[in-house]
Structure 1
């Protein structure tokens, strides 16, 4: 425990008393962080992220070149091809935005006397410092050992997106799980129709590939689709439940008693997705500015966590 003239530091790992928005005040370190692109250099996470993209590309290849292009029904191929590829683009875009968006990291090493004085706390008020990253710990923030930062409203660290899911990128993670579940379900339905068509036509003209190759490719796609659909559907439901109850997964697992005023269901949804319900809620490109991203990258370089 450290003491100053007006208030005290206390090294703890949870239950901070600092108000949620206090540490967003004029901090040069946080302003500098806001000008940088976020990326976590974690070997396992990067491998999982690359695998995610490869699996989506594989599914797109099988759907397009094995099932749709050889089909004699033109409109069946066009409608399903456009739908599947649009969902795939939305899924991968949501994945990128989840991975490259700062989840709500607290600046490292901001637990200084100067910064503490700027918070204008009452005499004797206790604030909490993370002993791992030497940062003032806002309310509902938790330390991530992989990101090596305290993350505001941290839900969990997901290796598949190589990032924490927190206050600023939870919306994109929800969209990622939703779109992956949708393309997985779509792929399974198309596989069912394709198997039926191939069996009925005795495997003669159902694919440009040989029957054994076609069967192997479709079996792998069915396994991938089933696993991804199960996993992402559960994650999507869990995330929506957490948002509606204003409780992160970490808070639920730790059975932390809320010291904050919980938002109502729709208030929680509007807080995460922004504003009233609209198509922007399901648009991963909303708020994205390529020019601003390039300027940030040029000015400050990527914000790495090592």
Structure 2
């Protein structure tokens, strides 16, 4: 029923867009300034606390980047061009996509930017320059989760750096001059806070859509549920897999579709 297409435009074509480039620039700036603050406050080579702090942040940063690129290059679940259901009798219940020259599977939507029909399409995200759909939604949700964690971590460390400098009367608390340190800390706090709020809002929106088994487009169009809605727990498991720590891992995938799942969205 679907075509699992990866690298559909090529990695470089996907990255060379204002959305991914802006996201990467912000991640790089926050990471650089966070590492600088950590080296000043909790040098990883001088204490176990400092080492663990750096490891946790680098873990957040690494998982953010991995899920970011995975959401960008992993196909969201494209219907093959000129697709038709296995049984001709089902065609009476399906819409036709004039652009793809085929039938639209239940709950699929045509993305004008990607030029394809996407299974269970939630939205087209400019930050990853790709659609968020059936096959890459977990990567996108984990991307928003880990970048929110990274931003909160940066906020905590920058606040600690600021109060440390105040207590030390700005002596030996930074390798920069006091005015430069203040400017850098204010910039980091502003950027990390803004990104934390923005990504937390995206994360909440995605979890709410998954929990209610209703995509962003379906909510926007106020479509009535003509499909067989799964229970909330089944809906979560369909995206993240079984409930365990593996839910937070991008290397763990939900169970593969079965042939009987062809019309898991009732027509």
Match among 94, 104, 117 for residue 137 of structure 1: 104
Q: 1:126 and 1:270, CA in 2 relative to 1: closer, same or farther beyond 3 A?
A: closer
Q: Which runs of 4+ in 1 moved over 4 A?
A: 40-45
Aligned to 2:223, the other structure's residue is in SS state coil
Distance in structure 2 (CA, Å) of the matches to 1:59 and 1:86:
14
Match among 58, 65, 78 for residue 29 of structure 2: 58
Task: Give the alignment's TM-score, normalised by structure 1.
Answer: 0.75
- Structure 2: gaps (5+ residues): 254-267
Deviation at 1:174, TM superposition (A): 0.6
Aligned length: 249
Aligned to 1:129, the other structure's residue is in SS state strand
Distance in structure 2 (CA, Å) of the matches to 1:60 and 1:241:
29
Partner of 1:211: 178
Name the structure with the higher strand share. 1
Match among 68, 92, 96 for residue 95 of structure 1: 68
Partner of 1:105: 78
Partner of 1:194: 161
Deviation at 1:260, TM superposition (A): 0.7
Name the structure, 1 or 2, with higher relative contact order (CA <8 Å, separation 6+). 1
Partner of 2:187: 220
Distance in structure 2 (CA, Å) of the matches to 1:182 and 1:124:
46
Q: How does 1:1-306 map to 2 (within 5 A)?
A: 23-24=1-2, 30=3, 34=5, 36-39=6-9, 46-65=17-36, 67-71=37-41, 74-75=46-47, 76-108=49-81, 110-111=82-83, 116=84, 119-122=86-89, 125-274=92-241, 276-286=242-252
Distance in structure 2 (CA, Å) of the matches to 1:279 and 1:69:
30
- Structure 1: gaps (5+ residues): 1-22, 25-29, 288-306
RMSD (Å), alpha carbons = 2.2
Q: Deviations over 1:132-160 (max 9, x none)?
A: 23232100011111111111111111111
Deviation at 1:42, TM superposition (A): 6.7
Task: Give the alignment's TM-score, normalised by structure 2.
Answer: 0.86
Aligned to 2:8, the other structure's residue is in SS state strand
Aligned to 1:136, the other structure's residue is in SS state strand
Deviation at 1:246, TM superposition (A): 0.3
